[in-house]
Structure 1
Amino acid sequence: MLARCAAETGAWLVHYSTDYVFDGSGETARDEEAATGPLSVYGQTKLEGEALIRASGCRHLILRTSWVYAARGGNFAKTMLRLAAERERLTVIDDQIGAPTGADLLADLTAQMVRTAVAQPDLDLSGTYHAVAGGQTSWHGYASFVVEQARRLGRDLKVQTIDPVPTTAFPAPAKRPLNSRLDTTKLQATFGLYLPPWQQGVERMLTEILG
């Protein structure tokens, strides 16, 4: 409905998609032209949404992202901090690789992309873009960084050990892709945007929630 309305009125449509449109195989970052292959209903419906937007003919920015967090609401970092305060030992998955990406970063990217697209109507900027923070890590690396930064900020934590474990240690009804690496070359080159390392955004988020 939104895509049809955007097509009829000439408006731009921004849609947030996901790394779940891929099957998570391999160890390299996928670009926007890579073959898709969702493992779950969630990934499949997100992929179908992308296709419907393209088919509508509207001007659009489809942003595929991953591992999104924000200072407000629940997130992985807050869960790790809570558990680290309660337990001496944690076990965290180390064979899923991606880039923790702040909602604030996505908001900034979106604002700049829309501003550029509207200001330069003669350029064909409509399309799909991968939008994640720079660098990569595992959930284990993410958790270790969170604990390290929390201690630097003065938080007293009980945890002494964070053990890496495979995804199979935490069976789940829906499969998660092991490889969530997304190549952001297209976004950076097209819009001239810099994507900061994931650690920078996580540090900012922790500073906000730990004060």
Structure 2
Amino acid sequence: AKTMLRLAAERDSLNVVADQFGAPTSAELIADVTALTIYRLQHDTALAASASGIYHLVAAGETSWHGYAQFVISEAIRLGTPLKAQTNQVNPIPASAYPVPAARPQNSRLDTSKLRERFNIQLPNWQYHVQRLVHELQQ
């Protein structure tokens, strides 16, 4: 979010990859869910006995980098942040037009159903923590 906001403050428009998808996930969410699962494992022996395996953790929902940038900018504007680039000036581009040293997957979405069902966890949508982050950056 910091980089998107800095670029939106400096430039009249942004070109952002629109064909790579995932779910932005905050360190806060990862820490909270990790602490909750450890707590539940410590206090539920039946759960602890059956909980081995690999669990995927990401926020609920999905977006592209383009959708993420539009959301960050719209939240900042809603909070009164002066930006040169407005939401409609975030242009979608294919990943092939933005070369990077390391190849990135087009789809980095993860299935969190095992985590949600086993630990009875409802994961917040990715927008929730992005809104909080943008608000904190404005302080």
- Shorter-chain TM range is over 0.9
RMSD: 1.0
Q: Which residue identity does 2:81 align to in structure 1?
A: R
Instruction: Specify the alignment match of 2:81 in structure 1.
Output: 155
Instruction: Specify the alignment match of 1:179 in structure 2.
Output: 107
Secondary structure in 1 aligned to 2:55? strand
Instruction: Specify the alignment match of 1:84 in structure 2.
Output: 8
Question: How big is the shift at 1:206?
Answer: 0.9
Instruction: Specify the alignment match of 1:190 in structure 2.
Output: 118
In structure 1, list runs of 5 or more residues that go unmatched: 1-76
In structure 2, list runs of 5 or more residues that go unmatched: none
Q: Which residue identity does 2:107 align to in structure 1?
A: N
Q: Which residue identity does 1:169 align to in structure 2?
A: A
Task: Check if 1:142 corresponds to 2:68.
Answer: yes
Instruction: Specify the alignment match of 1:114 in structure 2.
Output: 38
The two structures have a TM-score, normalised by structure 2, of 0.93
Question: How big is the shift at 1:173?
Answer: 2.1
Q: Which residue identity does 1:170 align to in structure 2?
A: Y
Aligned residues: 135
Cα distance in 1 for residues equivalent to 2:102 and 2:11 = 27
Q: Which moved more, 1:191-200 or 1:112-121?
A: 112-121
Percent of aligned pairs with the same amino acid = 53
Secondary structure in 1 aligned to 2:54? strand
Instruction: Specify the alignment match of 1:59 in structure 2.
Output: none
Cα distance in 2 for residues equivalent to 1:78 and 1:173 = 21
Cα distance in 2 for residues equivalent to 1:101 and 1:173 = 23
Cα distance in 2 for residues equivalent to 1:148 and 1:172 = 26
Cα distance in 1 for residues equivalent to 2:63 and 2:75 = 16
The structure in which a higher percent of residues are helix is: 2
